[in-house]
Chain A
Amino acid sequence: MRRCRFTMNDTPIIPATDRRDAPRGQEWQARVDQNGVVIVLTGDWIAVSGIRTDEAAISRIVESAGTRPISFDATGLGRWDSALLIFVSSLRRAACARQVPFNEQGLPEAATRLLALTTEAAPTTAPGVTGPTLVARIGQVTIGVWYETLEVFSLVGDTVLSAGASVRGRVRMRGVDLLTCMRDAGVSALPIVTVVNALTGAIVAFVGAVQLKRFGAGIFVADLVAVAMAREMTALMTAIVMSGRTGGAYAAEIATMVGNEEIDALRTIGIPVHDYLILPRIIALTCMMPLLYIYGFAVGVFGGFAVAVAMLNMSAATFIDETQASLGGGQIVFGLLKSIAFGAMIAIVGCRAGLSAGRTAADVGKAATTAVVIGIVGIIALDAVFAVCANALSF
């Protein structure tokens, strides 16, 4: 390496002088004579011990040079690396700005070459590109949201059309794909649905028991659990779990297929992506959600039952009687309707997020996040719509 020539040059380190924060060993002095300003470099200029720019001193040198050239004397220079290049290039930048001649001759030859490279790179570091203004950005986001809404509606429309076609058996979908999706969204989800709903039922019973006991109405814990689980909690909790689990998985899977050009391959052959990829997923989740709801409801009531019997010393027979008395078929139908709507929404949002993803690994993560966030917000918004409708119908 060329650099060893300079390490041989064994110059004693001059102690740091003027500024306490100046890196150790990096010393320079400006000598002004009739030929211009000569910068005398001494010591070791090593980046790990600090970077020295001295903006104020540099501008003073450039000013004092006037039209005379700036040159270097590196005979006393010890070891050097990027630290020296940064100092010299900031000096050069200041000199260029004031059109002061700049002479790199006195520098080590290897440093001159490296500086030549940084000259070429320099223009690209300051492209002067300004981003869009705030108003433009707000406009872009608004237009983006509008188009995204249109896309979601067209996806819903496509789904309805191809669901109609599938009834007549005219859809290009593999049966095995539908079954796989159903298994993934159904049986495979049972453990987590069990845990979440059992705990939710137990928590509702627990909270209810503490309050109702104070009024001597402990027996109504059974009613509370049955109605809360049937109308709200089971559908909501199951949907939130499925949004994170299955909606996110759909988005990630389809986004990966986009990145691997698998979607392009389907399109070029002429296989409708919608029929082939999206429909089985939407059908699977929409069919599985009501089943998960019924299962989750049973598990939730059992969770409440366990707490009621253990905490309130309620007899099992009383709990079952109260549950039966409080629960009409309407409540369960209401919950079933909700779960069907949630299922369809989660699947559509997940697939849409996947299809609109870009082609990089980060885009896959973004698609999954979008699917889960929009899914959960959508579930809660949809639940509110259901609540308002139920209220209007005095249900």
Chain B
Amino acid sequence: MATSKIRVDDISFGYDDRVVQHDISFAVREKSIFAIMGGSGCGKSTLMRTMIGLLPPYTGSVYVGDENYWGATDARRAEIGRRFGVVFQTGALWSSMTAEENVALPLRMFTRLDNRSIQELARLKLSLVGLDKAASTMPGELSGGMRRRVGIARALSLDPDVLFLDEPSAGLDPVASRRLDDLILELRNGFGVTVIMVSHELPSLLGICDDGIFLDAETKTAVAHGSPTRLRDTSDHPAVRAFMHRERPEEGRDADGDRR
């Protein structure tokens, strides 16, 4: 059994006075593809923001290896965070730079490599996601799927230990979405990176994730743990069943919670 890479210990989090989710605990095994599942607005992306250091939890903490991430100093947290690669929902590419410059910027900031090596590394990362031809394109000229892939290339630029993906296939057509899934799988197998993805796309979840957690908007906590396939086949929880089998929610339940 592989050791756990990231452990979330009894955290609750939210915005201002509004708790989005509480009492969340789980561990992510090394080299697994871990899914954060749940309906729209249940707090999946917010949980990810807490895990990558953008939003402090109200209580509890996140452990990276054995280290308390939120208990660490800002400088140390930034250092740990540099071992994370994050792909935001729409790519979040820096709009004033070309695709290649986007991928190269973290290398320029945090390594002492010369320009030539940086360029080669950036090209390599772009070719991994199949976009070496778009190196000098500005983000505004790329399609949604391409932007997402440049985002992945940028997240991989410092060869991270953990790759976070926020709804990687949202808004993509089934073919592009499938290709992205294959890419994530290959990156995991190739680089041995631990992947944590927020998603509500059933085909991706069932296709590539080997572990996960299900957040419920109604009870504001995690209602099921396990791989998406196992949850689909065995879970009795009505919210999980409704999600996995695309059933109508029960009377009185609403599939959508509050959006942040």
CA distance A268 to B158 in the complex (A): 12
Q: What's the tally of chain B residues with a CB closer than 8 Å to chain A? A: 24
CA distance A237 to B45 in the complex (A): 46
Is the pair B90, A261 in contact by a Cβ cutoff of 8 Å?
Answer: yes
Identify whether the interface residues of B are mostly helix, strand, loop, or mixed.
loop
Task: Give Cα A257 to B95, complex, Å.
Answer: 8
Chain B residue at minimum C-beta to C-beta distance from A266: B94
Check A265 against B109 for contact (C-beta < 8 Å). no
Instruction: Check A262–B109 contact: CB distance below 8 A.
Output: no
Among the stretches B80-88, B200-208, B212-220, B221-229, the one at the interface with A is B80-88
Asked if A265 meets B88 with Cβ closer than 8 Å, knowing A257-B95, A270-B81, A270-B82, the reply is yes
Among residues 258 to 312 in chain A, which have CB atoms less than 8 Å away from a CB atom of chain B?
260-262, 264-271
A-B contact count (CB 8 A): 53
Q: Chain A interface secondary structure, helix, strand, loop or mixed?
A: helix
| CB pair B106 A264 closer than 8 Å | no
The yes or no answer to A245 lying at the interface (CB within 8 A) is no
Contacts of A261 in B (CB 8 A): 88-90, 92
B92 & A267 in contact (Cβ 8 Å cutoff): no
Q: How far is the CB of B129 from chain A (nearest CB, A)?
A: 16
Contact-residue bracket for chain A: 10 to 19
Q: Does A68 sit at the interface, judged by CB under 8 A?
A: no
Bound: A271/B105 CA distance, A: 10
Cα separation A105 to B86 with both chains bound (whole Å): 59
Instruction: Decide if A172 is an interface residue (CB 8 Å cutoff).
Output: yes
With both chains docked as a complex, state the minimum distance between the C-beta of A184 and any C-beta of chain B, in angstroms. 11
Contact A172 B109 (CB under 8 A): yes
- Chain A residues within 8 Å of B54, by CB: 264, 267-268
Q: Determine whether B41 belongs to the interface, using a CB cutoff of 8 Å to chain A.
A: no
Contact among B81, B93, B96, B109 with A268 in the assembled complex (CB-CB below 8 Å): B81
Q: Is the CB of B89 within 8 A of A268?
A: no
Q: Residues of A contacting B184 with CB < 8 Å?
A: none
Bound Cα distance from A172 to B107, whole angstroms: 12
Residue contact B94 to A268, C-beta cutoff 8 Å: no
Whether, in the assembled complex, B53 has its beta carbon less than 8 Å from a beta carbon of chain A, the answer is: yes
Q: How far is the CA of A271 from the CA of B94 in the complex (A)?
A: 13
A267: which B residues are within 8 A, CB to CB? Answer: 53-54
A262 touches B81 (CB 8 A): no
The answer to whether B92 touches A270, judged by C-beta atoms less than 8 angstroms apart, is: no
Say yes or no for B33: interface residue by CB 8 A criterion: no
User: Are A265 and B82 also in contact (CB < 8 A) when A172-B109, A270-B110, A271-B109 are?
Assistant: no
Interfacial residues, chain B to chain A (CB-CB below 8 A): 49, 52-54, 78-79, 81-82, 84, 86, 88-90, 92-96, 105-106, 109-110, 154, 158
Binding site for B on A (CB under 8 A): 172, 177, 180, 256-257, 260-262, 264-271
What are the 9 A-B residue pairs with the smallest beta carbon separation, nearest first?
A261-B92, A270-B78, A261-B88, A265-B92, A268-B86, A269-B106, A268-B52, A262-B92, A270-B82
